Chain A
Amino acid sequence: MKPKHIFGIVLVVGALAYLIFGGLSSNLVYFITPSEYFQNEAKYANRSVRLGGLVKAGTVRYNKDNLQLNFVVTDGVREVAVRSVGTPPALFKENQGVVVEGKFAGQEFQGTNLLVKHSEDYQAPKTGNYTPEQIKKIIQETN
């Protein structure tokens, strides 16, 4: 192989590697529970995360005029107030596992996207209390 070929191959592979690994590291989204957030607030400040937990009963408020949806997500230990605009409120229930994508603004979480689990092996969502382990599992499943 001529030197110019080797140079060309190195250039192409280098560009690809930059594209792929640069893209991977800047597009990772962490899954966390409220407790995990409060353990290391600085780490998750100003970056997109997926917050998972249970919708606390009696906390869901929907304002039909400014389309704002407020609710509290809990993992049984800590809880976070979530404010979200543009999420479909009908698709979610109290005492149900949810994952909200968004960013923390101080103590409050600003959600941009609400993820609902669509498994083919569908089980009706359990109601009642979850242990932190079960909540962790819910988050993992609502990917």
Chain B
Amino acid sequence: MTPGLLGTLALAATLLFSVLGLGLSVLAALLRDRRYLEAARRFAPLSLIGALAAFGALEWALLTNDFSVAYVADNHSLEDPLWVTLVTPWAALAGSILLWGTLQTLYTSLVSARAGQSLDVWRAPIALATLFAIQVFFFGVMSLVVHPFDPVANPPADGRGPNPLLQNHWMMAVHPVLMYLGFVGLSVPFAYAVAAMVARRYQSWIFETRWWTLVAWGFLTAAIFAGKWWSYEILGWGGYWAWDPVENASIIPWFLATAFLHTAQVQERKGLFKGWNFAFITLAFAATVFGTFLTRSGVIQSVHAFADGPVGTVFLGFLLLTLLVGFGLLSKVGSELREAGEVRWVSREGALLAGALFFGTFAFVVVLGTLWPLVIEAVLGAKVSVGAPFFNQVSVPLGVFMLLLMGIGPVLPWRQATSEVVRNLIAMGSALGVGVLIGLLLSLTPGVALAIGLFAYNLTAVGLMVGQGIRERSRALGISRFQAFLALAGQNRRRFGSHLVHLGIALAALAIAFSQTYRFTEQKTLNVGGTWQTHGLEARLLSVGVRQEGNRVAVIAPLEVRALNRDGWASSGRYETRLNFYTQMGGQPIATPVVKYSPYNDYYFVLEEFDREKGSWATLKIIVTPMVLWLWIAGAIVVLGTLYILWPGTVGAPARSALPQT
């Protein structure tokens, strides 16, 4: 048995299991027979085993340097370090599709395992059929369009290895997996929505679906922050977000899933917005397919683009099918989705809907900006690009409105605003005003002053809500305020988790405002031994040297860095900025910046040019950016808040209904 053979067989078996699972699920739905459902459920773990065998076969081929497999020959080299070899399955198209398919079988198995308890006999077969159909698509693509296990007629002695940019940072092992877990995770809510519409049970699906969506959303959020940090660490321009098509492809489903999470709460409690929820979740799942189509088709070029090929067309077809199924069903059942009441804008549900509409608009704007070059090319025949300034310009007003709504929404009561709420709103408004004023007095730009105001406003909102809960509870039970806080936080995890998420987002907005507004960039050529002082920092160039490191040659410029504090200059260590030359890339190096992180300013050093003859000088770029560190902290807070909500013990209706609704 060779890895190639095992992989091909495993893929074929998984495709077969998926087709059988799909067929049996459809039979179960048509005949309303539980036995078919039970039979279909067996194919979920079987397809997981098949997919894991295929994925394992690819790892096996890579680890044993089996260059008779085309994927290995194209993306692996004998010189690759072990960790690079292990992550090479998602370094190119065929392997990423295999990872996607494998994670899909994992989610299908989880749904199937839970189907016994959480899904009724009408919805379970349809949800499973949808997931099996998605599996059929992915494993069909791997059998017919992109082949991870294609053989090479004359295996080379060595391959060229994965793209050097992907070997340059360990985030390669983390970010793509998180991203796929998020993307694939959104297939589950979509399947539940389809099941709900087909079975015409429009209310019950929302409870379980919210949990699944939050899982996918948590992975997506973690992946987006991890990706920002990755690009910050290696791309060498000192930024973390460039509105590149692939970045856009990750943020669009995030916006739509966020919209869903908000309107889903209203349906859960009030039975409103059923149509919106079906629409948002269909769009969120479709957006994951859209992103793949966009970046894998060669239609739009980007930093992440794989080569062109028929796979783009296939994904376009799948995207259209997804939209057709989702919206076709929605239009069919639309007349039955009568709302149980009216919505007032100045109420919790009004704010939640407005917030969701803003997220939807934001997603639409990003889609439009990403596709606009295609429109211009079709109409005018000119090659253009829509730069980051467009997205930044539009994001600011949308972001400000969202931050305002984020503070108000949770403070407003359900149904209708009452007079005690007005007091809270006045307090929040004052915090906003004071924050802006302080920002202006510190002579910051109006935009940054507004960001400070909005942060203070959101902080006040959360503070008021938590404070009120604590006071009421400690008075009612006669316990200390601290005990009351612990009791509340422990019992009402959903509420507290969402407070944490909101605080994280507010902090992220503050960090983005500061870091985007006050970035300082300077370039200088230093002789060895020369120093450079800027922004309370002194850097001395120690040497310019060359080092052979496995499959690359590094030109290294170590810097001795001292920082100014109250007692004068103090050493803060040695920082190595470098250029990595990978043999596959000819003479073209990859700049590898080094960052000195601090709570105020990040100091970002890039080696740009060096004396190739004697190593006596180097041209360096320094980028000083305030508050970037807080963006990563904010990301961690958002993810922790999500985990806090999801931690086992909070799911399930009995626990929820027993909670006070503060």
Q: Which A residues touch B372, using CB under 8 A?
A: 24, 28
Instruction: Select A93's contact among B236, B390, B587, B607, beta carbons within 8 Å.
Output: B587
* B285 at the A interface (CB under 8 A): no
B163 & A121 in contact (Cβ 8 Å cutoff): yes
Which A residues lie within 8 Å of B386 (CB)? 24, 27-29
Q: How far is the CA of A74 from the CA of B92 in the complex (A)?
A: 33
Given A23-B394, A91-B591, A92-B588, also A140-B383 (CB < 8 A): yes
B91 beta carbon closer than 8 Å to chain A: yes
Q: Are B368 and A64 in contact (CB under 8 A)?
A: no
- The reply to whether A120 and B306 form a contact with Cβ atoms under 8 Å apart is yes
Contact assessment for B584 and A31 in the assembled complex, using a CB-CB cutoff below 8 Å: no
Q: Is the CB of A89 within 8 A of B609?
A: yes
A101 to chain B, nearest CB (A): 9
Complex interface: chain B residues within 8 A of A50 (CB): 385
One of B5-13, B189-197, B296-304, B645-653 at the interface? B296-304
Query: Which residue on chain B has the smallest CB distance to residue A65?
Result: B525
A27 touches B619 (CB 8 A): no
Q: State which of A121, A139, A140 has its C-beta within 8 Å of the C-beta of B307.
A: A121
Q: Is B608 an interface residue (CB 8 A)?
A: yes
C-alpha gap A23/B398 in the complex (Å):
13
Inter-chain contact A120/B384, CB cutoff 8 Å:
no
B312 to chain A, nearest CB (A): 14
- Kindly state whether residue B421 has any CB partner on chain A within 8 Å: no
Q: How many residues of B contact A (CB 8 A)?
A: 54
- Determine if B621 is an interface residue (Cβ-Cβ < 8 Å): yes
CB of A119 within 8 A of CB of B610, answer no
CB <8 Å contact, B394 and A125: no
> In the complex, how many angstroms separate the beta carbon of A39 from the nearest chain B beta carbon?
13
A38 proximal to B (CB < 8 A):
no
Do A31 and B608 form a contact, CB below 8 Å, given A121-B163, A122-B584, A141-B301? no
Within 8 Å CB of B369, what residues of A? 24
Residue of B whose beta carbon sits closest to that of A66? B525
Contact call A16/B361, Cβ cutoff below 8 A: yes
Q: Known contacts A29-B384, A118-B303, A121-B163: does B591 contact A90 (CB below 8 Å)?
A: yes
Distance (whole angstroms) from the CB of B256 to the closest CB of chain A:
17
Per-residue CB proximity of A21-33 to B under 8 Å, as 1/0? 0011011111110
- Give the Cβ gap from B172 to chain A, nearest Cβ, in Å: 11
Residue contact A20 to B609, C-beta cutoff 8 Å: no
- Report B-chain residues with C-beta under 8 Å of the C-beta of A142: 301
B525 and A90 contact, CB distance less than 8 A: no
Q: A67-B619, A88-B621, A120-B163 are in contact. Are A30 and B393 (CB under 8 A)?
A: no
Neighbouring B residues of A19 by C-beta, 8 Å: 393-394, 397
* B629 CB-CB contact with A under 8 Å: no
Contacts of A77 in B (CB 8 A): none
Bound CA span A31–B376, Å: 12
Contact A125 B92 (CB under 8 A): no
Tell whether, in the assembled complex, residue B384 and residue A28 are in contact, meaning their CB atoms are under 8 Å apart. yes
Q: Chain B contacts of A67 at CB under 8 A?
A: 523-525, 619
Partner of B384, one of A31, A93, A116, A121: A31
Instruction: Answer whether residue A14 sits at the interface, using C-beta atoms and an 8 A cutoff.
Output: no
In the complex, chain A residues 87-143 whose Cβ is within 8 Å of any chain B Cβ:
88-93, 96, 116, 118-122, 124-125, 139-143
Query: Would you call A118 and B383 a contact (CB within 8 A)?
Result: no
* Chain A residue with the shortest CB-CB distance to B161: A122
Most buried by A among B163, B390, B523, B607: B390
Q: A62 in the interface, Cβ–Cβ < 8 Å?
A: yes
Complex Cα distance, B93 from A92, in Å, reads: 27
What chain B residues lie within 8 Å of A62 (beta carbons)? 609
Across-interface contacts of A16 in B (CB, < 8 A): 361
- By the criterion CB–CB under 8 Å, are A143 and B302 in contact? yes
Known interface pairs A16-B361, A64-B525; A27-B389 also in contact (CB < 8 Å): yes
Q: Please tell me if the beta carbons of A91 and B92 are within 8 angstroms of each other in the complex.
A: no
Which listed residue (B92, B383, B390) contacts A27, Cβ 8 A?
B390
Closest 8 CB pairs of A and B: A27-B390, A31-B383, A143-B301, A88-B608, A121-B307, A64-B525, A122-B163, A124-B586
Q: Which residues of A contact B (CB under 8 A)?
A: 16, 19-20, 23-24, 26-32, 50, 62, 64-65, 67, 85-86, 88-93, 96, 116, 118-122, 124-125, 139-143
Interface residues of B (CB under 8 A from A): 91-93, 163-166, 236, 300-307, 361, 365, 368-369, 372, 376, 382-387, 389-390, 393-394, 397, 521, 523-525, 579, 584-589, 591, 606-611, 617, 619, 621
